[in-house]
Amino acid sequence: MARRGWIYESLGEKITLSQVFLILNNPFYYGEFEYPEQSGKWFKGAHQPLISKELFLQVQSSRLIPSKVKYGSKTFAFKGIFKCGSCGSEITVEEKFKLLKDGSLRRHVYYHCTRQVKYDCPEKYVNESDLSAKLLNYIQTNVASIKISEELQRRAARHFEIVIHHFATHQISTDRLHPLVEYAGFVLNKGSYTEQGELVQGIQSTFVIRGREITTT
């Protein structure tokens, strides 16, 4: 299993955690539905609820969906967290907006060396989504040796309880899953910037970017 703990197999069917959270975030699965959509008219479904209303509400209150980032908000997940592995400078972050043909703006976020230590540091920029994917990969690969804060342990454990509860409903084994890997996968894909930053800060290592890859010192 290359991506340990991230893709699950059950009855020949692959389920990703993002699909699980789609289920956990759709009131339909605890037996209620809105029709027409956005009308505020709710009906009780005839089907057997897949999850309880309590679990649904628990999931809603335990997570924050990142709100759309506003223009010029200068909000970043990993500000002040990374050092440059090539020269030792701080890694800074900036955003650029590209005007699309339809008039909307697309936001691009880049992390790059400040070159305070070495003015001609060769380290190239890394965009935020790549950095996020590399972080998750680092955590998956190194989970056995990673030291984390008590707060992060507590958050991962709380999240894992919900995962186990849900998976048990579907008779999916959670034996091969690791709380930190599950929590990191969830937060890096679905969490708010604040949660993402706190996840990385809860890992007791100094993260460096070298050759666009993540390592620790």
**Contact footprint for Zn ion (CB under 5 A):** 84, 86-87, 89, 113, 121, 123
Shortest spacing between CB 211 and Zn ion, in angstroms = 11
Shortest spacing between CB 210 and Zn ion, in angstroms = 9
d(CA 95, CA 128): 10
Q: Which is nearer to Zn ion, 28 or 125 (CB)?
A: 125
Within 10 angstroms of residue 199's Cβ, the number of other Cβ atoms is 25
Question: Tokens representing 35?
Answer: 């029709």
Q: Which is nearer to Zn ion, 113 or 139 (CB)?
A: 113
Q: Which is nearer to Zn ion, 115 or 165 (CB)?
A: 115
Shortest spacing between CB 116 and Zn ion, in angstroms = 8
d(CA 167, CA 120): 51
Dihedral angle of Cα 80, 190, 59, 48, to the nearest 10 degrees: -170
Shortest spacing between CB 134 and Zn ion, in angstroms = 17
Q: Which is nearer to Zn ion, 89 or 140 (CB)?
A: 89
Shortest spacing between CB 112 and Zn ion, in angstroms = 8
User: Per residue in 72-84, is it b (16+ CB within 10 Å) or e — as a string?
Assistant: eeebbbbeebbbb
d(CA 9, CA 166): 15
Q: Which is nearer to Zn ion, 53 or 210 (CB)?
A: 210
